[in-house]
Amino acid sequence: MLDQNEISREYRYWRPRLLLSMIVGYAAFYLTRKSFNFVLPAMQTDLGLDKGDIGLLGTLFYLSYGISKFAAGIWHDRRGDTWFMGVGLLATGILNILFAFGSNLSTLLIIWTLNGFFQGFGWPPCARILTHWYSRNERGFWWGCWNTSINLGGAAVPLLSALMALWFGWQAALFVPGLTGIVIGLWLCRQLRGTPQEQGLPAVGYWRQDPLEIRQLQQSPVMPLWEMFTRTILKNRMIWLLAASYVLVYLIRIALNDWGNIWLAESHGVNLLSANATVMLFELGGLCGALFAGWGSDLLFRGQRAPMILLFALGLFISVAALWLSPVHHYALLAMCFFTTGFFVFGPQMLIGLAAVECSHKQAAGTVTGFLGLFAYLGAALAGWPLSQVITDYGWSGMFVLLTIAAALIGFLLMPLLIAGLSWQDRSHNATETAYNLPQDNSG
Amino acid sequence: MRRELRHLLMSLFIFMAWGLAWFALWTISFYLTHNGQQAALLLPQGVHLAMLILLSRRFWPALILPELLLMSWLLQQQLMNESLMLISPFISLITVIAVRHFWPRYTLYWQRLSLLMAAVTADALLHTLILAPFLQSPATLILLAAFTGGILLTPFAYLIYEYLRQQRLEDLLVLETPNPPLRTSLLIWCSLFFIIGIGTQLVFSPEIARLLLIVVFLPNVVMAYKFGWQGGVLAALLGSMMITIARQIGGGFNNLLEMELFLSTQALLGIGLGIAISRQQHLANNMLRYRQRLEQELHARRSLMEQLVHAEEDARKSLARELHDEIGQNITAIQIQSMLIKRTQDSPPARMAAEQIDQLAQRIHHSTRQLLRQLRPPVLDEMSLEKALYHLVQEFAFDEQGITCRFHYALPGQPASETVVFTLYRLLQELLNNISKHASARQIEITLSHRDNGVCLEVNDDGVGLHAEHRQGFGLQGMSERIQALGGNLQLESRNGTRVIVNLPALF
């Protein structure tokens, strides 16, 4: 048994290290995931693909990614192998390089779907580490920091791809992320660790003396997998509401991410580099948004996520409307609008995942976020082929109408969530408590 | 140090989030007005005013600084022309400082909403007065822009603020509050109206102008009626969104002035109606609560009185029994002994003493019997109620005083409850007592009938009548309370003599 000083020392040693490894690893995952999107305009002409084909590639990728993330989440929550993330990254790197050699649509479809499968290995280890090494009253901040990896990877990619595509052709824009993935994947296999208990340390709730964290620990008894899944996830009303709003958030995020540069190029006449730079601003805004949302909810609402999601949903509504209604072909205005929309989209994207993890079972972090991921990538899949049809039939205003309505619906869906702010355990406890209490005098 | 750091971080958050939100609102307003200055006064102004009033003073720099920065950027980008707009946040501060002076005094939601609307009006007027001479836009447009933006968004910002503040104060458990903001059914109704409105507009595009009145005003009224001020605020916001969409689809408004006027009117209607209805509902709820409490108290009091009556009756009963058992037998024994002495002794002093003892014993017996009779009329133990009452009437010997007394007994038997029987007996005793002493009547009529699951006792006399001052003193108050305790009532009429009607629920 270690004493208090040694425990603190161990924690203080491992926490920043693990965070750094996670950030680098996940950013690399994003490199190998998004590499394809940013050379799309060049590939379109080179290989003769139309909007329907591009939409199909996107949809299949997101579907396989969503399913794999869920399955990997369940697997990793049970097994907890530390080399899981590294192996996935290695595989995606190899697949990226293979993709550069593909020439017809079916080969590309197969390779990219496999890429989606291995991409699903990235998140569950991060989920496990984030829920076990960081406590509730600070998790918003750390999770926000981790979320920056998404934005770093997402921002580095457009620039990198555009530069590579400009200098060496679009195949190079896939080689470089592929190689990076392989190298970092090999490094990552040795970097990560399991839960603090596996290192001989007490749970983080006890070290930080955080009552809400300890409460979640106590409400998470060991249970078999299927029971944990049905009781804490399927029967939890909050998870379903969060899942529904997650679909919408991802619809907006992926639509703007994937179609944003094409929209800019077509309707505002911006060139490829500027269009990609503008979408990079989207990711930059997202970085700020996730960080601010994280520690904003820690500070302002004492760790309650739902009120912050509501505020950001309102902001998202007005920023999507502003992006759509931005009347002049004024580049600076558009760039600012993209930054704003990115800020207000990544807030809910991060907070919904965080809220879901905090209101369910402690051992089910990967599972519940994998479950949510199914819905997220349903939303993303909707932003692929179905949205391409909407754009073909109704034009760009049709897309923006859809996105604005989605943003409004997020706000509406969250209201019951705020009122029913209970976790699954509290509700069953409350039910038995009120059965034993005598009716109170309600004349006061 | 921790607190300072907290405030710094919160200010940073507000700086970032509010700055971007201001920018997005400005862009939407610019689309509506095509004028940079009016755009800054339309939608951003409404939220800006609300936030300055609602948030703590230490966040003012974080609120004003991003606006100044963004406005300078817009000026540099040539999207705004007049640099005078930079003083607009400071003009708002005048109104805000005045309103914050009154803000802590008025805590009810309708007072605060009215205060906010007054602030919006004052702010719009101030902006027009100070800025209009120097800007290119006409004064009416400036006034309307500031007013419309405020009316639309300031109550909405207040609604969201109250909603989130409640989330903070409450624990993670659900509490029942008397006026919880934003119930879910409210949102379902909102969405329904919104969808119907959009659908109507899409289908009936050419006749938009006339239909808008129905499609926008009617939901406002319905929502305000059903959900109070929250419904009014949300309906106002949704209505304005529908109006702007109508404009987008093409048709409806000739110019900006008309549209802004329409927006303000329907917002004012929704909010005003909502406040009025909320107040009424609140007052009605209060009344209902007080009435329920009052009923509870009355009920408690009545049951207490009933218990008292029963307790009294039981006490008398046991006392009477004790008296009878203890004293009665011993008195009889003394009398027998004295008779024995009288029979066996011949000397006159002994016989006289025995005679004295006998007489004294008789007197004690007599007074004891009277006491017992007062405590618990034995007639009732020996006879039925009818006979007992008849006996009572006879005791008063009205015939000898020349008073005619008629007694009708029309009950189907004896009441089941002893308390009722005794109460009736004593009641009649008291009433006849009063009549014989004070009424100077010539005719008395007593009726006992069965009515409405109970007994109705009616005593009429043609005497001098009872005046109000006398009612207190003639033991009627006590009787009336006992009767009420048992669930009955006592009515008194004083025309052409006195008429007393007593209703007492009883089973037979």
Q: Do B293 and A443 touch (CB under 8 A)?
A: yes
Which pair of tokens denotes residue A173?
A: 């824009």
Q: Is B184 on the interface with A (CB under 8 A)?
A: yes
pLDDT (tens digit per residue) in B111-136: 888 899 999 999 999 999 988 888 88
In a domain, A210, yes or no: no
Instruction: Name which of A289-298, B368-377, B388-397 the model is least confident about.
Output: B368-377
Q: Is A396 on the interface with B (CB under 8 A)?
A: no
pLDDT, residue B24, reads: 93
Average pLDDT of the segment spanning B284-294: 92
Within the 259-298 window of chain B, which residues sit less than 8 Å (CB to CB) from chain A? Answer: 289, 292-293, 296
Residue B181 pLDDT more than 80?
no
- In chain A, the number of structural domains is 1
Minimal CA–CA distance to A425: which of A243, A127, A221, A137? Answer: A221
Q: Are B421 and B507 in contact (CB under 8 A)?
A: no
pLDDT (tens digit per residue) in B33-78: 888 888 888 899 989 999 999 988 889 999 999 999 999 998 888 8
- Collect all residues with Cβ–Cβ distance below 8 Å to A235 and sequence separation of at least 6: A424
Q: Is A140 on the interface with B (CB under 8 A)?
A: no
Residue listed under structure tokens 């006339």? B210
pLDDT, residue B206, reads: 59
Q: Do B160 and A310 touch (CB under 8 A)?
A: yes
- Please give the angle made by the CA atoms of A56, A57 and A62, to the nearest 5 degrees: 100
Indicate the residue type of B160: I
Distance spanning both ends of chain A, measured CA to CA: 53
Task: List CB contacts (< 8 A) between A340 and chain B.
Answer: 20-21, 23-24
Q: Do B167 and A300 touch (CB under 8 A)?
A: no
Within the 7-36 window of chain A, which residues sit less than 8 Å (CB to CB) from chain B? Answer: none
Order of all β-strands in the sheet with B443-451: B404-410, B443-451, B454-461, B498-505, B489-493
pLDDT, residue B412, reads: 85
In a domain, A340, yes or no: yes
pLDDT, residue B35, reads: 83
* Kind and range of the H or E run holding B500: strand B498-505
Q: Do B9 and A295 touch (CB under 8 A)?
A: yes
In a domain, A151, yes or no: yes
CATH number of A320's domain: 1.20.1250.20
Higher pLDDT pick, A297 / B219: A297
pLDDT, residue B253, reads: 61
DSSP B326: I
**CA atoms in the 13 A half-sphere facing the CB of B197:** 26
Task: List CB contacts (< 8 A) between A301 and chain B.
Answer: 164, 167-168
Task: List CB contacts (< 8 A) between A358 and chain B.
Answer: none
- Write out the E strands in B394-497: 404-410, 443-451, 454-461, 489-493
Task: List CB contacts (< 8 A) between A285 and chain B.
Answer: 20
pLDDT, residue B18, reads: 93
Q: Is A412 on the interface with B (CB under 8 A)?
A: yes
Residue listed under structure tokens 């355990």? A425
Interface test with A, best of B14, B20, B70, B161 (most A CBs within 10 A): B20
Q: Mean pLDDT in each 10-residue stretch from start to end of chain A (444 residues)?
A: 79 88 89 76 72 80 86 84 88 87 80 90 88 84 84 76 74 82 87 80 80 75 75 78 89 87 77 76 88 86 80 91 80 88 91 85 81 84 85 85 85 66 41 40 36
Residue listed under structure tokens 């080179």? A46
Which pair of tokens denotes residue A384?
A: 């692929």
Instruction: Name which of A218-222, B5-9, B180-184, B225-229 the model is least confident about.
Output: B180-184
| B490 Rama class: left (phi>0) / alpha (psi -120 to 50) / beta | beta
pLDDT, residue B246, reads: 67
Using the Cα atoms of residue B94, residue B96, residue B97 and residue B103 in order, give the sign of their dihedral.
Answer: positive
Q: Is A302 on the interface with B (CB under 8 A)?
A: yes
Of A288, A326, A336, the CB nearest to B16: A288
Which pair of tokens denotes residue A281?
A: 């601003």
In a domain, A96, yes or no: yes
Q: Is B182 on the interface with A (CB under 8 A)?
A: yes
- Write out the E strands in B340-435: 404-410
Confidence of residue B1 (pLDDT cuts 50, 70, 90): low
Indicate the residue type of B185: S
Q: Which residue of B has its CA nearest to A414?
A: B184
Q: Is B397 on the interface with A (CB under 8 A)?
A: no
Q: Is A144 on the interface with B (CB under 8 A)?
A: no
In a domain, A418, yes or no: yes
Max mean pLDDT range (A33-42, B142-151, B394-403): B142-151
Q: Is B56 on the interface with A (CB under 8 A)?
A: no
Q: Which domain holds residue A301?
A: 4-204+225-425
Residue A129 CB coordination number (10 Å):
26
DSSP B87: G
Q: What is the mean pLDDT of chain B?
A: 82
- Is the ipTM higher than 0.95? The answer is no
- Collect all residues with Cβ–Cβ distance below 8 Å to B2 and sequence separation of at least 6: none
d(CA B20, CA B69): 11
